Amino acid sequence: MSTTLTPRGVDTESPTRGATGVATATAQRAPQHTLRPVPTERTTRILLVEDEPLTAEVFARALTRDGHVVEVARDGLQALRNLRLKAPSLIVLDISLPTISGADVVREVRLAGHDKLPIVIVSGSERWQTNLTDADLEPFLWLAKPIKPRTLVAIVRELTDQLGPGPGPAID
Residue 48 domain flag: yes
3-state SS assignment for residue 72: strand
81 vs 114, residue with greater confidence: 81
In this predicted structure, what is the pLDDT of residue 25?
Answer: 36
Give the residue numbers spanning the domain of 43. 3-8+32-163
Residue 143 domain flag? yes
Predicted pLDDT of residue 20: 37
Q: Using pLDDT thresholds of 50, 70 and 90, give the confidence band for residue 5.
A: low
How big is the chain by its Cα radius of gyration, in Å?
16
Contact (CB, 8 A) for 51 and 39: no
Distances (CA, A) of 166 to 43, 89, 116, 121: 8, 6, 14, 20
Residue 91 confidence (pLDDT) above 80: yes
Q: Answer yes or no: is 169 within a domain.
A: no
How does pLDDT run across 11-25, given as a tens digit for each residue?
Answer: 444 333 333 333 333
**pTM exceeds 0.95 for this model:** no
Which of residues 147 and 161 earns the better pLDDT score?
147
Beta carbons of 7 and 128 less than 8 angstroms apart: no
56 domain residue, yes or no: yes
Q: Confidence class of residue 171 from pLDDT cuts 50, 70 and 90?
A: very low
Please state the rounded mean pLDDT for residues 31-46.
56
Residues 6 or more apart whose CB falls under 8 angstroms from that of 35 comprise 5, 9, 10, 60, 61, 64, 65
Domain count, the chain: 1
Would you give the DSSP letter of residue 163? H
Round the average pLDDT of the chain to a whole number and report it.
74
pLDDT(170) > 70: no
Residues whose CB is less than 8 angstroms from the CB of residue 172 and which lie 6 or more positions away in sequence, other chains included: 84, 112
Domain assignment present for residue 20? The answer is no
What three-state secondary structure class fits 78?
Answer: helix
pLDDT, tens digit, for every residue of 94-149? 988 988 988 889 889 888 888 888 899 998 777 666 666 665 566 677 888 889 99
Does 111 fall in a domain?
yes
26 near 32, Cβ under 8 Å?
A: no
CATH code for position 149: 3.40.50.2300
How does residue 50 score in pLDDT terms, banded at 50, 70 and 90? very high
Residue 13 lies inside a defined structural domain of this protein: no
Q: Percent of the chain beyond pLDDT 90? A: 33
